[in-house]
Structure 1
Amino acid sequence: MTLPLSRIKVLDVSQIMAGPFCCMLLGDMGADVIKVETPGIGDQTRKSMGFRLKGADSGGFLALNRNKRSVEIDLKSPAGLQAFYALVKEADVLVENNRPGVAARLKIDYATLRGINPRLVYASISGFGQTGPWSRRPGLDLIAQAMSGVMSVMGHAGQAPVKASVPIADLGAGLFAAYGILSAVIGRGITGEGQFVDASLFETALGLSVWESAEYWGTGQVPVPIGSANRMSAPYQAVRASDRNFVIGAANPKLWAALCGVVERPDLLKDSRFTDNVLRIRNREALIAELEGAFAHRTAAEWVEALLAAGVPAAPIYDYAEALSSEQAVARDMVLKIQHPVEGETRALGFPVKLGGTPQQVRHPAPLLGQHTDEVMREIGMSPEAIGALRQAGAFGAVQAATAPAA
């Protein structure tokens, strides 16, 4: 079955998270993603991101690099640049996440590559974008969360700052970059020319701060941490039952009335502190104290069942073991089993958006370092002799990585 991006060739010259995640998303939709890695070293995530299973590559690398092929090219050597430029001529998209200025030093910047392939869509993902006084600062998810304001609203008031454990700046930048890339590819169909796509972790984190910026501009008050609560409605947060916490979301008058009925507190409907959403937000602490007084008499599971029966959104709070094994995750194929040449059967997150006509599939597991170097170079017309000569000249490293059997 032909996938939507099956005619798109992507050069993934990125590493760690934001760029590889972006390219994996494109690969999941059918793009031919060629991961360009430094000979003998590869993506830093291969060695430094978390635990390892059987082989040399980390679990983090395996999670971010399915549906890609790997080539080893030394971009600092003349022979390596020659080989890389040959790939650029055939590519539709390039993604890199070096600090601004590095690509130019390596002679793989947009200005250079546009001269080789004017149709190229070139995406740069960095900490703060290609311009501005902060552009040369390190690009880490932690830094972006700190300087965008996100960390200032995480956690609870009066406690030490915390960041979102899910790296929203990194992953969000990958998502925004994919959105920009596909928009540019569609635009190229009209103009015939590619363009430069500039995505950053800082702007991603800031761009996701929709409620917080609205609150600041609307009230003049700097947003503060509010735990699990919502800035625009109440009650909409985690609450405590007799045994554990669960969440409720009574975000409109009808749901608020239904909630009061379930907890058998009709008096709350007439309480002057809670008569509309604005007042319930203003008096959130008192509101939750009243509700938790009622919730303390039954278990979270009992309250969730009763609230759902009344049409009030409610849910248990799952850990990842519970979420990944849940009947919904199973029904939606959110845990995939992937065969890897070294690791054997591994598990990975499924596709978070489904295409009905051309469903995505895992065509390649995360590649071994340099696994596809000869294959990819042959596909663009290089003879075995030319590939061998380039390898001798230092383009691809001394020896191509071999596929090893599962341990």
Structure 2
Amino acid sequence: MFRPEDLIGKQIDQFRLDRFIARGAMGIVYKAFDTVLARTVALKLISRQVTDGLSTQDINAQEEARKRLIQEAKAAGRLTHPNIITIHSYGESENFDYICMEYVTGKTLTQLLNVRKILPIEEAIPIIEQVLMALDAASREQIVHRDIKPSNIMITEDGRVKVMDFGIAKLPSLSMTTTGTVLGTPYYMSPEQISGQKLDSRSDIFSLGAVMYQVLTGERPFEAENTATLVYKIVQTEPIPAKIRNSSVSESVSNMIIKAMAKNPGQRYQTPREMLQALKAILSPGAGEVREESDATIIASGDEFEMTLQADKAALAPSPMGPGVSEVSTPPREELPPSPSEQKSSDQGAPSGVPGRSTEAQPGKGDTETVKRKGGVGPPAASKPATVTKATTSPPVTTKPKPSLPPKTTGLN
């Protein structure tokens, strides 16, 4: 009976196996030392030997694992990105096929969630952001990961995210499986992936939306007791919104998850870059919750103003007087020339508020008065929505007769 620990200390080609790390359905991973380049690496092994007693199904699974190993080397080997595990080489020995890859220390997202269940938004968002950057790099090479899930997301000790396991990735020119073959982890698979349809990067976006949902709520978006029920839920039902599962999840983040997990790929973010930009827009200072334009409020400090679009609309609304409400014509009025005493008083400066006097230039005959807002042209203060008041004609200005002149009488017959 083979045990992974039995290989510790053994050498495969130029690699010395120092420590067993993990074993999965698709291979065994060791921490190893490259004796030629003198560096620590990770080595994923797939046995080439057919063990006696294996069933036909097990033999087929082993062959499938070898194909996936080669697929991973081809897919990830084309990608050089700080958020993707780097593949150094692929090789074959007498007993094993292997890929040599970057060795990183840290924990998978699955291990992190097993301990903490829910991550705070300020910790979760940087993880999602880095996964999106990795998917963006893969998308530019027309590579679909097809198995985005917490166990394939590594968080290093310094907080860097590394996307792993491109073993079932779909390459642009070579697909290990034909359309109709379902590969992946059901809980995070997109409806089109479950249905065996043609995939693109929008399938990875759905899977990441499901991961994001779990990270922020502590629950997977779809749960079921059997595969058939799970498949039905993923294809036909909507998950409970994340903001209902966890009240600390904002409306905008909850809506982002809903969009990422739309059943129809055309209603999702169309590329990882688009989702990344939307995520950054939510997190940018002052972005806040997503609001309708009609409800937007701009608040300024100091001598600036606070403006609402509602007030602006009121200011621009048509006047019952017709177009041009900001300019109201008044009939010309005659003014008697001021007396010498009044002229003297005027030269010294009339106090504000004196009846019949204006602190602004009076319009002359045939001129037009312009209704102005206090403080110059511009939006009114938020505390008082802008209004336009119909101008009224001032009464004719009369002067008190001088004592030396005979009194002037006026009256109505």
Shorter-chain TM-score bucket reads: under 0.3
Structure of greater relative contact order (alpha carbons < 8 Å, 6+ residues apart): 1
Q: TM-score normalized by structure 1?
A: 0.18
Structure 1 or 2, whichever has the larger Rg, is 2
Greater share of helix residues, 1 or 2? 1
